Amino acid sequence: MVDRPGMIAPEIAEHYGVGIHTVTKTWAQHEAWPASVGKRGRYKEYAAADIDAFVREHVQRQAVTLEPKRLYTAQQLEDAGIGITAGTIRADLTRDRWPEPDDTENGVNRWKGKTVTAVMATRRGYRRTQSDKSGRA
């Protein structure tokens, strides 16, 4: 949770480690974006608890627990709910944005759960917020 009851766009961007454009042009355009509670300077002010709830529900991906030694195909990873599609995995692999497979038996690319867990920790949407880093709930 955040320290102050209300936040404006620059504070929201700083707190969640994103650009102000992401807050004003992407998040704030979402139908579930909370209503403002007032105005501070030239910015609308939002209840910090409402922003926190929005980010938790609509921005942050919940990390999926995978069996570390099990091998998964791209489709199995999508089905496990890691938050990206099998097609994205295959496309990212060709663009060197996804690790090489741990196994390619019978021409099928498969990755160990621990490999996928490590790469997903570096992808957008899984980043920790400032409050997570400071240990506050």
Contact 74, 86 (CB under 8 A): yes
pLDDT score at 83:
80
pLDDT score at 81:
85
pLDDT score at 130:
41
Low-confidence ranges of the chain (pLDDT < 70): 1-4, 61-63, 124-137
Tens of pLDDT, residues 96-121:
999 999 999 999 999 999 999 888 88
Write down the pTM of the prediction. 0.54
pLDDT score at 135:
42
Q: What are the sequence ranges of the domains in the chain?
A: 6-59, 71-120
Give me the residue label for tokens 């910015």: 43
pLDDT score at 133:
42
